[in-house]
Structure 1
Amino acid sequence: MSGQSGVIYTSRDVEDVFRCLSTICTAGRLNSPQKSNPLYRRPPPLIRVSDVAFDKRAVERERFSFHLPPDYRFLYPAATLAYYLGASLEADGAAFIELGSGGRIVLPNFPEIELWMGDMLRRTFYLDCAVRYAVASGGALNGLDVRKALGRPAVDVFYMRPDERLLLYHDAGPNLDELPVWHMAAYLDPVPESVEALPYLLHSLSAIYSPRSSPMTERSLVSLSVNGFLGRQGVALPGVDKGERSVVVPSLMPARSQLWFSEGYPVDAVKATPRAFMNSQRYPRKKKVRVGIICNEADMSEEVDVVIEALSDAASAMQVFWGLDVSGFSRVFARGFDIIQLIGHCDERGFKCRDGFAKARDIEENNTPMFFFNSCSSHAEAAKLVDNGSACGVATFYRVLEEAAVDVCRNFYLMLGAGYPAYMAIDAARECSVLGKEYILIGDGSYCFGGDGLKPLYRISRHGEECTLSCTIGNVQKGYVVSTWSPEGKKMASDLGFETRFMSPEQLSAIAMKFKGFCIYNKSIYTSVREAAMKAAEDSRDDSHHCKRKRPRPGS
C-alpha cells in the first residue's frame, strides 16, 4: 500500500480508538458507488498507538453513524463497512446503525455481529460494483440485473446517499449464496495494539473477525494435509504439549485470502503483521528479478535446478552459494537479491552452516524482500527475518520430505515467475502437494514480481460428465471489471471471481483459448486453461469408456 498521508496517533483507551477510526472513516468525500472502483480509493493514514490521546476536536458527528458498545470485538469488525460507506463510529451502550433519515438498523450481539458486518460488506460492495457498471455501460455484471434485483433503475441507486443504499441492500438484492466469495478475511485480537493493522485492512476492504484456534501437533498436521489432498474429512485434534502450541489450526471464515494477526503460526492462513506491510513499501516491484540460492547440503542440489528452471524467464540474474559459513550466510541478505531460496537444514538453533548455525535475528543488514526457507521447522526463523526487514517469505512448520519439498518449490516459483502474488503462488503449490499444509506464508502475501497481481487463476472441476470453470484474481484492491466467456459468448464479471455454469468438457475445450492464465485441475497446475481442459476431456472419455466396459450384458 503506497501513498499514505501521514500518521495518526491514539492512546490505548477504547473511546480514543473509536474517535481515531471514526476520523479516518469520514475523511473521504466520495461515498457513491464510484468508490467501488479501486482507482478512487486512497489509502488511509497509518495509525500508531502511543501515550498521547487522540485529539477530540478533530471528530465531527455524522448523521450516518455506527453505534457500538465500547468494545474492540464490536469495533474492529464494523470498521471496514463504516470506512467504505463513510459513516462515523460512536461508542454507545447499544449496537445499531443510525441512518440519515432518522431510521435505524438494529445490529446483533457478539459474535453474530462479525458475520453480519462481513456479509453486508460483501453485499454492499458487490452491488455497488454492479450499479456502477450498469450506469456506465448499461450492462449486467456477472449477469446481475440491477433493476430486477433491487426494484429500481441503476441510475437511481447510484445517486442515493450511502445510508440509503445500505438500507436498500439490507432489505433487497440477491441471495448471498449467489455472490462471489469475499477476497480477504483478517483475524485481529480485540486489543488496542491491533488498530495499527487497520489502515492496511481498510484499504483492501478486508472483513475482520476475532481469532479462534486450536493447537496442532506434527502428527495431526501430516494427517490433515494428506486427508485434505485426498478430499477426506479432517482429523480430530488431540491435546498437545506446551512446546508445540506455536502451530495452530484457526477457525476461518469463507475468503480467498486469510490473514492471521494473532498469536501462533496458522495452518491454511498467512501469518501477517503490520511491520510486514510497512517493509513491503520499501521494495519496488520488478518484472525482472535477481535471485540468490543458498544450498548448504550437496545432496539437495536437485532443488537448485528446479528454482533455476522455474524462474528462468522472470530472473535477470541468478547466483548460487554453496556450503556457506555463518558470516557468509548473513552477508547474502545484504546484497539486494529480490528473492533468496534457502536449501538445507534448520532447527531451534537456526540454519545449519559449514561452521555452526545462523539465526535470522543476527543478520545485521537485510535488503531481501522475499525468501523461501525450504528447510525443516523454519517458521520461527522466517518470522524473525520479516521482523528484520523482509516483506514476506515461505517457511515450514515441521519436517518435510525432500520429494514434497521439491514439488512445492517448483510450483511456487512457476506461479511467482508468471506474475501471481505470493499468497496465490503458495496456495496453489500447497493445493497440489500431498504435504502442502506443512508450508506457511509469513508477511505481506500480496507481494509479487511486477504489477499488482491482477492475473487470473482458473480451476476446472468435473461433476460427472460435466465441468465448471471458476476464476480467482490475485489483486488485493478489488473493484475492477474483467471479461470472461461462456458457450453463449463474452460477458463481464467482477474481479472478486466467477464460476461458469455446467458445460461438457468439449464445450469447455472449445472456448478455453479465450482464457489467459494458469489453471488447476485434479491437483496439478497447467500453464493454460486449454491444456487443462484437454486433460479434463481426456479423463472424461476414459471414465466413460471404463464405465461401458464394466456395464453387464443384457440377460447376464
Structure 2
Amino acid sequence: MAIEFEGTTDPTGLEVYDSIEQRHLHVRTSTPVAPRTGDGERFCFPVDTTCTVETGALVFDQTYSVSLHNDAGRTEANLDVGETARLEDGTQFVGLSGPIRLYCRVEATGTIEVGLNSIRLSFDDVVPIELGARSLHERPVGTITTPADPEAMMEAIAVLSSALKTTTPERTWPTLRGHPPLIELGDEFEAPDAVERPDADVTIRVPPAYQSVFQVAPLAFYLGADVRPGVEPTLETPQFEYPLAGDDRLEDVVAGLLKRFFFLDCLVRTEGLFQYDLHERAVLEDALPFDLAETYAASLPEQLESYLEVPLESIEEYVPRWPLTAHVPAEPDSVELLPFVVNELGVVREPRGSSLDAVSNVTNPGASFVRSASARRSPSIAPSDDERAFVVPDVADESIEHAWFGDHVPQSASKATIEAYQNQLSRDSRSESIEILLVCNDARMLGEHDLLDDAYGKRESLPFDVHSEFGITTDRLAELLTDGGYDFLHYIGHATPDGLRCSDGDLDVRTLESVDVGVFFLNACQSYEQGLALVKRGAFGGVSTLRDVVNEQAVEIGETMARLLNLGFPLRAALEIAREQSALGEEYLIVGDGSTDIAQSEGGAPLLVELERREDDKFDFAVRSYPTKGFKIGTATESTLETITDRHITPNRTPFYCVSEESLQEYLIWTEIPIILDNRIYWNNGVGAVTID
C-alpha cells in the first residue's frame, strides 16, 4: 500500500506515510484519533488510501497550497496566506498540495485559516472527517521482470500505465501520472502486486519486433492501453480501429497521435475538476468538431474517436513543445530505458544518422587562448576507444532535447545513459541548502569564477552553499568528487579525453570507482569523456564539450548556464538558451539526463521573457516556459503580468501581447526572470527597476 495512516499521541494527531517517496506528513488534531479505513469511492479525486477520523480540528504545521471544492470536486476557491474561508453544511472537499497530496472530505460547518506557517481546519463540533491521500509517485513503485522476447516485453510495457492515477483527461496533469515501474531482463515475466494496468478499453497491436514495441510504449502508457502482437500496427477500441501503418513510419504516426491526444485532453480537462482559462482553448474551441463538456463526460474510446477527427496539422502550432525525443537502439537491453523515457512522455525513435570518423575542431586566430590541456590543438578529434564513431543524428526540431542512446558520440543531441537515471533513484531529498563546488584550475580563468560566485546563491528562499577551490592537485580533486557530496560541480580549467588538468597532472575520472556529485558543468576543452565517466560512476547528468572552446566564449556560456540553473531551469533548457546567446554551438552537449536540475523554480515552471520594442513606448511581451521534474509537460503556466492573460500549456511559447512599459516594469520589479531583448539576455534579480533601454 502506497500510503499509510497511523494515529499518534505525542502530539495527538495523524501520521501519514508515503512508502514510495519516503515522505512523512504529520497532522495535529484537537483530540487523540484512531483512523478507520475509508471508502475511496466517496472522493472525486484520485487517491491511493483513505481513512476516517473524528476530531474538532486539523492543523498542518507547514504552508501548502489550499483549494476548496464542492461536492462534485469542482474548484470553488484557492486560498492564500492570510485568507480564511467558511465551511458550510453539505459535502465539501479541502485539497492540500504538499509532499503528499491530501484531500479532506467534510460534511460539517467550520473554518479554514491559512496562516504564515500553518493551516488550520476548525469545526464547530467533534465530527467525522474523511481523508484521502495520494502519493506524488515520482519514484517507481517496483520492478517488472521480462524475458528478452518482444512478445513478453509487450506485457511489461502494457503495465507501465499502472502509474496512472486516472484515465480521464486529468491525467494530463503531471501529478496524476506517477513514475512507471522499472523493467529489467530476466528468465520469466514477473510484476509486483501493486503493478496493474488500468481497464481503459484500448489495445495497441504491433509486430513482435523490438523497434515497434519500443516506439508504442509512450502512447500505450498514456492511454493505459494493452499491447498485443499483430501483423499490422493498429489502435483498437470497442468504437473503432485506427491503422498505425501507412506512408509514414510507425514512429511518426505514434508521435503524432500522442501529441494530438495529449493536447486535446488538455483542452477538455478545463471542463473537469479544475476549471480555468487557457489560451489554447480560447483560440481553438470554436474550430473543434466536438463539444468540450460532452467530450469530458464521454468514455475514453469515445474521446479518442472524437480527437481523430482533428487533423494534427490544424492544431500543431499550439501543441506544447515536446520535452524529449529518445533515439533508442532495437536491442533487448533497451527495454530497461523505457520507464525513464515514458516518465516524460518522451517520443521513441529509431537511432538514425550519419557517422563521422572525427569532428572538426574550432579555430579562432583572434582568441586569447583556448581551454585545451594539449600543447597543440589538433584540427580534428577522433573518438575514444570505447565509442564506435561520432554521429550526426537525423533529428527533427520536435523536442527541447534529443537523447541519443547507444555507443555513438552525438552532435546536435544529448549523450544519454541509463546510469544517469538509475543514479537518481537513490537520491535523498534536497537539504535546505544546495552544495555547489567551484573548481578553477587556471589563474587566467579567475574572471569566470568571480562571475559564478556572484551568480550562485542569490535566492534567499533557497540558499546555496558555494565552496571554491583553486589550483588543486589530482588527489584533492579526487577527494572532492568521491567524498564531497556536492549537488553541483562547476569545473573551470583544461581537459583532454584522458583527464581534468590539475596542478600536478591530469585526474582521469575513469580511474575512480564512484563519485558523489549530482550535476556538473565541465567548462573545459574536450571534456566529453570525463563527463561520461562522471555519469557512469554516480552523477545524474551534466554538460561537457566535444571540441576546444575559446576562453572568452566559454566564460560567457558558463555565466549564462550558472544563472539559469540557479533559477531552476533544467540542463536541457539552460543549454538551449545558452547556445542561443553565444557564438558557441555544437561544442557543448549534455551527458546523462537532460531533465536534471540543481534548484527548484519559484512559482511554477521556469519562464524566459521575450520583448520586442514598439514605436509607441510600449513592448510586445511573450514568455517561453520550460518543463522540469516538478512541472512536467501538461502544467498550466502564466506570467502573472496583470494586464494580460497568458495561461498556457507548458512547455511552450505564448503569442506576443502589447504591454506598456509601466506595467512591464511593475512586473519585472517583483519577478526574477531572464529577459531577451534585441537578441541579448538581461538578468533581473526581481528587486527594483530593470534597465531595458
Does the CA-based 8 Å contact 1:394-1:442 persist in structure 2?
yes
Does the CA-based 8 Å contact 1:276-1:390 persist in structure 2?
yes
Does the CA-based 8 Å contact 2:542-2:590 persist in structure 1?
yes
Q: Structure 2 matches for 1:513-528, cutoff 5 A?
A: 513-514=666-667, 516=671, 517-528=673-684
Cα shift at 1:405: 1.0
Matched residue SS, 2:486:
coil
- The answer for the alignment partner of 1:369 in structure 2 is 518
Instruction: Give the letter aligned to residue 527 of structure 1.
Output: W
Picking from 494, 498, 513, the partner of 2:649 is: 494
Instruction: Give the letter aligned to residue 182 of structure 2.
Output: L
Task: Write the distance in 2 (CA, Å) between the matches of 1:485 and 1:192.
Answer: 47
TM-score, normalising length from structure 1? 0.83
1:471 and 2:621 equivalent?
no
- The answer for the alignment partner of 1:298 in structure 2 is 443
Task: Write the distance in 2 (CA, Å) between the matches of 1:360 and 1:240.
Answer: 20
Picking from 159, 164, 175, the partner of 1:23 is: 159
Q: In terms of mean alpha carbon deviation, does 436-445 or 490-499 score higher?
A: 490-499
Task: Write the distance in 2 (CA, Å) between the matches of 1:495 and 1:26.
Answer: 24
Matched residue SS, 1:430:
helix
Bigger strand fraction: 2
Does the CA-based 8 Å contact 2:515-2:539 persist in structure 1?
yes
1:198 and 2:338 equivalent?
yes
Instruction: Give the letter aligned to residue 165 of structure 1.
Output: Q
Matched residue SS, 1:105:
strand
Q: In terms of mean alpha carbon deviation, does 482-491 or 154-163 score higher?
A: 482-491
1:250 and 2:399 equivalent?
no
Instruction: Give the letter aligned to residue 468 of structure 2.
Output: V
Cα shift at 1:479: 1.9
Cα shift at 1:298: 2.5
Matched residue SS, 1:42:
coil
Q: Map Cα deviations across residues 241-295 of structure 1 (whole Å, 9 max, x no partner).
A: 7779644322223112322223323233322222111212314345632222222
Matched residue SS, 2:517:
coil
Task: Write the distance in 2 (CA, Å) between the matches of 1:532 and 1:186.
Answer: 42
Instruction: Give the letter aligned to residue 389 of structure 1.
Output: G
- The answer for the alignment partner of 1:227 in structure 2 is none
Matched residue SS, 1:171:
coil
Picking from 304, 312, 320, the partner of 2:468 is: 320
Q: In terms of mean alpha carbon deviation, does 326-335 or 28-37 score higher?
A: 28-37
Does the CA-based 8 Å contact 1:286-1:449 persist in structure 2?
no
Cα shift at 1:145: 6.2
- The answer for the alignment partner of 2:280 in structure 1 is 142
1:127 and 2:270 equivalent?
no
1:78 and 2:210 equivalent?
no
Q: Structure 2 matches for 1:328-367, cutoff 5 A?
A: 328-333=476-481, 334-367=483-516
Does the CA-based 8 Å contact 2:566-2:599 persist in structure 1?
no
- The answer for the alignment partner of 1:272 in structure 2 is 416
Cα shift at 1:425: 1.6
Cα shift at 1:326: 2.2
Cα shift at 1:364: 3.7
Matched residue SS, 1:256:
strand
- The answer for the alignment partner of 1:451 in structure 2 is 600
Q: Map Cα deviations across residues 417-474 of structure 1 (whole Å, 9 max, x no partner).
A: 1222222222212221101321111112222233367211233468999956241223
Does the CA-based 8 Å contact 1:296-1:323 persist in structure 2?
yes
Q: 1:63 to 1:363 in 2, by over 3 A?
A: same
Cα shift at 1:497: 1.8
Cα shift at 1:514: 4.0
Does the CA-based 8 Å contact 1:484-1:493 persist in structure 2?
no
Q: Map Cα deviations across residues 367-407 of structure 1 (whole Å, 9 max, x no partner).
A: 11012111111101110110000111211101111111111
Cα shift at 1:534: 7.0
Q: Percent identity?
A: 25
Aligned residues: 519
Does the CA-based 8 Å contact 1:23-1:59 persist in structure 2?
yes
Picking from 147, 171, 176, the partner of 1:35 is: 171
Instruction: Give the letter aligned to residue 293 of structure 1.
Output: L
Instruction: Give the letter aligned to residue 350 of structure 1.
Output: G
Cα shift at 1:302: 2.1
- The answer for the alignment partner of 1:397 in structure 2 is 546
Does the CA-based 8 Å contact 2:623-2:639 persist in structure 1?
no
Q: Map Cα deviations across residues 2-24 of structure 1 (whole Å, 9 max, x no partner).
A: 33111111121111111211222
Unaligned runs of 5+ in 1: 224-238, 539-556
Instruction: Give the letter aligned to residue 458 of structure 1.
Output: V
Instruction: Give the letter aligned to residue 337 of structure 1.
Output: Y
Cα shift at 1:86: 1.0
Q: Map Cα deviations across residues 80-99 of structure 1 (whole Å, 9 max, x no partner).
A: 11111111111111111111
Task: Write the distance in 1 (CA, Å) between the matches of 2:247 and 2:499.
Answer: 42
Cα shift at 1:480: 2.0
Task: Write the distance in 1 (CA, Å) between the matches of 2:229 and 2:362.
Answer: 42
Does the CA-based 8 Å contact 1:33-1:128 persist in structure 2?
yes
Q: Map Cα deviations across residues 131-174 of structure 1 (whole Å, 9 max, x no partner).
A: 11134426444244675343333222112222222221111264
Cα shift at 1:347: 1.5
Cα shift at 1:62: 7.3
Higher relative contact order (CA 8 A, sep 6+): 1
Q: Structure 2 matches for 1:159-238, cutoff 5 A?
A: 159-172=297-310, 174-215=314-355, 217-219=358-360
Task: Write the distance in 1 (CA, Å) between the matches of 2:363 and 2:395.
Answer: 19
Instruction: Give the letter aligned to residue 219 of structure 1.
Output: S
Q: 1:288 to 1:425 in 2, by over 3 A?
A: farther
Q: 1:502 to 1:322 in 2, by over 3 A?
A: closer
Task: Write the distance in 2 (CA, Å) between the matches of 1:81 and 1:509.
Answer: 46
Q: Structure 2 matches for 1:398-477, cutoff 5 A?
A: 398-451=547-600, 454-460=605-611, 467=620, 469-476=622-629, 477=632
Task: Write the distance in 1 (CA, Å) between the matches of 2:160 and 2:650.
Answer: 26
Q: What is the Cα-based RMSD across aligned positions, in Å? A: 3.4
Q: 1:151 to 1:529 in 2, by over 3 A?
A: farther
Q: In terms of mean alpha carbon deviation, does 450-459 or 81-90 score higher?
A: 450-459
Q: 1:434 to 1:46 in 2, by over 3 A?
A: same
Matched residue SS, 1:434:
coil
Unaligned runs of 5+ in 2: 1-136, 365-379
Task: Write the distance in 1 (CA, Å) between the matches of 2:328 and 2:473.
Answer: 39
Bigger helix fraction: 1
- The answer for the alignment partner of 1:307 in structure 2 is 452
Instruction: Give the letter aligned to residue 326 of structure 1.
Output: T
Q: In terms of mean alpha carbon deviation, does 433-442 or 508-517 score higher?
A: 508-517
